[in-house]
Each structure stands twice: as C-alpha cells, then as structure tokens.
Amino acid sequence: MTEAPAIDTRAETRTRIVEAAATLLREHGPAAVTTRRVAETAGVQAPTIYRLLGDKDGLLEAVAEHVMATFVSAKAAIVEAASAQNVDPLDDLHAGWQSQIEFGLANPALFRLLSDPSRINASPAAASGRHVLESRVHRIAEAGRLRVSEQRAVGLIQAAGSGAIQTMLTTPPEQQDAALADAVYEAVLAQILTDAPAPADSRRLAATVAFRAIVPSLDVLSEAEQNLMLDWLDRVQRAL
C-alpha cells in the first residue's frame, strides 16, 4: 500500500515561501518579488502567502530576517571557534569585516533591505549580529588592545562597514576603488587600537577597558559588587 505524501506544516510552508522570495530577491532584485512569482517558485497558491505573511512588505520583512539570521548564525559559529582555538582577536575581527563587505557587495538588494532602520530596530537577527560583533570587540578588549570603550568601538566598526558597502554599491564599476574597504578598516583600527608605546592616558584607558571586560567573570564578586565596579570603570573611561 502506497503511503500518502507528507503534508507540509504551516512553518515548513512559510519557510519555503521565504526561501523562494529570498532567491528571487538575490538573483533578480526587488522587482522580481511579486506574489505571483514567489507563489510559483515556492509551489503554493497566492492566498497562502497572504495568509502566512500578509502583504508584500510582510514578505520582505520575513526575507530580511531569514537572510540575516542565516548569515549571523554562520558568523556566530566562527567567533565561537576562534575563541575556543585562541585565534588572534584582530585576525578574527578582520575576517568578520571581510565577510560583511563581501556579503553586502554580492547581495546589493538584500543589503539595502537589511539596512532599513525600521527593520533593523525590530529585528532579532540584527540584534544577534551586533552581539557577534560585540563578542569580537570584547576579545580585543580582554587582550588590552582597545583605547576606546567597547561600545564606541562597535559603533565605529558598524558605521564604517555600512558606509563602505554603501559607497561601493553607489559608485560606477569603472570608478570603484578596490582598496577602499581595506583603507576604511585600517582607519577604524587607528581610532580604536592602542599603539606601543602609548601615552600614559592611553595606557590607563586600555587597562581600564581590559579590566572592565573581565569584571563579569569575577565570580568572587557578587552581582551588586560587579555592577558597582562596572559603574566605577565607566566613570574612569569617561574621564580619560
């Protein structure tokens, strides 16, 4: 007796629709993400898309979240492996920078979609992506190499990466500077990393940032004591 074909669950159908839309967006641009084409590619009826995802904006939001979540998951695994294998934190940060630039340039439509502040602010995947960058920067702080706060370093790296991608995407191919992203990256490092030998204030700030990075792991202190120590160190950072 032949078994009846399996019936997709609601979640499986939604995933198939989102993946189909992501493929159309990546290969043909936003204009290709129509309800009809997505339905044909996913092998569903158009009303199914409306029922599961609402209008086209809802579909695009789901695509953005799906793509970002997949990309961030891969980055998080790399950061975890780098930490476990004691990879140089600067090498790990550079690898993350390169992957972000390559992703943005290879997926211009997705990059613009993912750069929409209204989507990023409410995106769990975007928050996870920032956490991955924070983890990379935290490892540099633990090594005593930061001369700015971790928060400022993360902000500078994010701003520089998005700006570099946006600039390259809006520059005609014949005018593009292939070394632009590397130059921007080096400029950011010059702003956030300590030099040797460093001025006394820079050494104090680097030591403060490094100590702040390890405070949460000091189990000998209570949570209240750790919070108090973090507050003191934040005040020192602001004063230097």
For 210-236, what is each residue's pLDDT tens digit?
888 889 888 888 999 999 989 988 888
pLDDT above 60 (res 13): yes
> Locate tokens 């609601």: which residue?
10
pLDDT in tens, 79-114: 888 888 888 999 999 999 999 999 889 888 878 877
Does residue 134 register a pLDDT over 70?
Answer: yes
Q: pTM value?
A: 0.71
> At 8, is the pLDDT very low, low, confident or very high (cuts 50, 70, 90)?
low
- The model's pLDDT over 169-192, given as tens digits with 9 standing for 90+, comes to 999 988 989 899 999 999 999 999
The yes-or-no verdict on residue 200 having pLDDT over 70 is no
pLDDT-derived band at 201 (thresholds 50, 70, 90) equals low
Per-residue model confidence (pLDDT) at position 153: 96
pLDDT at 238: 84
More confident residue, 118 or 132: 132
